[in-house]
A and B are shown apart, each in its own frame.
Chain A
């Protein structure tokens, strides 16, 4: 590590906290402040944003002064494929649930997330998908009666 940044994790955390604190403070400034007696909607958040900034600063300074004891942070270790595919799977479910219905949305999301693993095998993934769709139908629609169609309007259902 560089001489100035002893603990990059804490430096990043501190920086992020400071950025978030400024965002919340900026958003709070638009809100009516009120007084301590009649606190407006902006009073409490602004105080908190100040506190968050202070804590962020302390974490940042700590990161510059003290060595990291835990495992080192490396960009190479970030599993971009898993991060992207799992997130995508959830987003696709959200996009699909109304127009496609539970069956297709659930199937797509399970299949996409199965792709995220390095141990992905097509037969296993297909089997898993079928299993989960059947299970979802049985439990959520038949047993619990969620107000959801199995097939959405795009697939001829309603």
Chain B
């Protein structure tokens, strides 16, 4: 078997003492920046690029890759503990993870996230090793119409994110899209909704919006009635999953892994969708959807698996085609060029030690991460015993430095302050912020792909239905719409709302 000798080569590279060391440094740094809200892998990798100049290319890439997927592990920690999602993928984790933490099940939520991520990461790495080239070809089949259909599907499914009124959830999605498209128009360069503010030319920063409406909004709300209600969490009840918990998460983890692996390959936002999609699916097929949003363990297991699987498979276009699918991959391509390796489809054949070494290191890195993260859970949970009035000023401080570090731009800090107030108002009016954020992420892509599809097809709307992939995705979207609007489903939702 060819694959076996390749994997053998990969492990022989990845298991060298030096590469093990850099893999460990990478995942450790990744966990750290993942836990620190706002500070993401892009900023960190950009800062660390200069050190990689002196390293051999394989070690450099192993470390940078470790930072990236390590950050996906760490990113869920603050979402669960203090309702502070630092990245788009952990927005979904915050929904049920934070509720679990308030019920004293933070340890279980964190363990679920770590185990789900480990399983998903391992499976996705295996997929990467076995099927990278054909999967990359699949990604190339995705043109603008397919992406548009995928975004529509995502938006319709997103209504399931809300646990309250469907109407308000839809309104939040639309409002999110409008906020998302603020900034310079990709097609004409015309600024939209920028009020002549230069800092708005590239749109509103996601981190400012997410940390504002979730993190700061929650802090203000908790300070509202600190004298009447206990703001802290209930007593921590055990750190490990019970047999019942395990039974509940098997399905979500498997489905999330499959979904994340597939969507992760798609450059242009596929990976971001996967955690949202996983949550929606789990809620739809659950026999007890009313538990979602109130601390359902499935709502943590599915999206966390999806997000980590997507993080691994998003390497496929970069490694096999030399095309970056997100800013982190673009940075890694930059690192390769500085090392004197021209990225492209030939890297697999010309530098097999690099290609297979990175793949093998991903599995090793995932293993290190689960070993690193499980013992850390005890420490994180202890953090929750700190009284809230001591904890929250620190959270505010982390939010500030985190949002500033994204672009080194003070405007983002001010925007976050404003969105903090907005977040509080939304909570008071019982409008949920999760659909708003999803609209914000998907909105600009939806418009971009729609307009691109129309341009390329010369304005023929049939293009969405004559291409088999796009047509089937739109059919799925239609089915999802029917499910959302079906009276019986609506009834259960309304009942759930009244509980």
Beyond A86-B396, A147-B408, whether A120 also contacts B389 by CB under 8 A is yes
Beyond A38-B455, A144-B47, whether A45 also contacts B424 by CB under 8 A is no
A residues 21-77 with Cβ under 8 Å of B?
Answer: 24, 27-28, 31-32, 35-42, 44-45, 48-49, 51-52, 55-56, 58-59, 62, 69-70, 73, 77
Inter-chain contact A27/B193, CB cutoff 8 Å? yes
* Chain B residues in 8 Å Cβ range of A31: 190, 192
A72 to B170, CA, bound (A): 23
Beyond A97-B410, A102-B401, whether A87 also contacts B421 by CB under 8 A is yes
- CB closest residue in chain B, given A20: B175
* Chain A residues in 8 Å Cβ range of B185: 41
* Chain A residues in 8 Å Cβ range of B424: 83
* Chain B residues in 8 Å Cβ range of A120: 389
- CB closest residue in chain A, given B399: A90
Count residues of chain B with CB under 8 A from any CB of chain A. Answer: 67
Interface string of A63-107 (1 = CB under 8 A from B): 000000110010001110011001101110111011000100110
Which listed residue (A52, A106, A124) contacts B400, Cβ 8 A? A106
* Chain A residues in 8 Å Cβ range of B174: 48, 51-52, 55
Inter-chain contact A91/B178, CB cutoff 8 Å? no
Beyond A58-B167, A87-B420, whether A124 also contacts B175 by CB under 8 A is no
Beyond A52-B174, A83-B421, whether A118 also contacts B47 by CB under 8 A is no
A139 to B390, CA, bound (A): 20
21 sampled A-B residue pairs with Cβ under 8 A: A13-B430, A20-B178, A24-B193, A32-B188, A52-B174, A58-B167, A62-B167, A79-B220, A83-B421, A83-B424, A90-B400, A93-B401, A94-B411, A94-B417, A97-B410, A98-B410, A106-B401, A109-B397, A118-B227, A125-B393, A128-B393
Which one of A45, A111, A136 has the highest number of Cβ atoms from chain B below 10 Å of its Cβ?
A45
- CB closest residue in chain A, given B424: A83
Q: Separation in Å of the B188 CB from the closest CB of chain A?
A: 5
- CB closest residue in chain A, given B228: A77
Having A20-B175, A59-B168, A114-B393, one finds 19 other A-B pairs with CB under 8 Å, namely A9-B429, A17-B175, A31-B192, A59-B165, A83-B421, A86-B219, A86-B420, A90-B400, A94-B413, A94-B414, A94-B417, A98-B410, A106-B397, A118-B226, A118-B227, A132-B393, A132-B397, A140-B405, A145-B47
Inter-chain contact B459/A113, CB cutoff 8 Å? no
Number of residue pairs spanning A and B whose beta carbons lie under 8 angstroms apart: 198
Beyond A56-B171, A128-B394, whether A82 also contacts B223 by CB under 8 A is yes
Within 8 Å of chain B (Cβ to Cβ): is A155?
no
Which one of A12, A38, A95 has the highest number of Cβ atoms from chain B below 10 Å of its Cβ?
A38
- CB closest residue in chain B, given A120: B389
Looking at chain B's contact residues, the main secondary structure is helix
Q: Separation in Å of the B402 CB from the closest CB of chain A?
A: 9
Q: Separation in Å of the A37 CB from the closest CB of chain B?
A: 3
B residues 212-247 with Cβ under 8 Å of A?
Answer: 216, 219-220, 223-227
Inter-chain contact B400/A93, CB cutoff 8 Å? yes
- CB closest residue in chain B, given A121: B389
- CB closest residue in chain A, given B51: A145
Q: Separation in Å of the A136 CB from the closest CB of chain B?
A: 6
- CB closest residue in chain B, given A136: B401
Inter-chain contact A82/B192, CB cutoff 8 Å? no
A120 to B227, CA, bound (A): 12
* Chain A residues in 8 Å Cβ range of B205: none
* Chain B residues in 8 Å Cβ range of A24: 178, 193
Interface string of B172-186 (1 = CB under 8 A from A): 001101100100010
Beyond A55-B170, A73-B428, whether A119 also contacts B224 by CB under 8 A is no
Within 8 Å of chain B (Cβ to Cβ): is A5?
no
Top-5 shortest CB links A-B: A37-B459, A94-B413, A82-B223, A90-B417, A41-B185
* Chain B residues in 8 Å Cβ range of A128: 390, 393-394
* Chain A residues in 8 Å Cβ range of B187: 41
A24 to B190, CA, bound (A): 15
Within 8 Å of chain A (Cβ to Cβ): is B101?
no
Within 8 Å of chain A (Cβ to Cβ): is B335?
no
Interface string of B449-465 (1 = CB under 8 A from A): 01100110011010000
* Chain A residues in 8 Å Cβ range of B190: 31-32, 41
Which listed residue (A27, A38, A44, A87) contacts B417, Cβ 8 A? A87
Inter-chain contact B413/A79, CB cutoff 8 Å? no
* Chain B residues in 8 Å Cβ range of A77: 224-225
B residues 95-112 with Cβ under 8 Å of A?
Answer: none
* Chain A residues in 8 Å Cβ range of B32: 139, 143
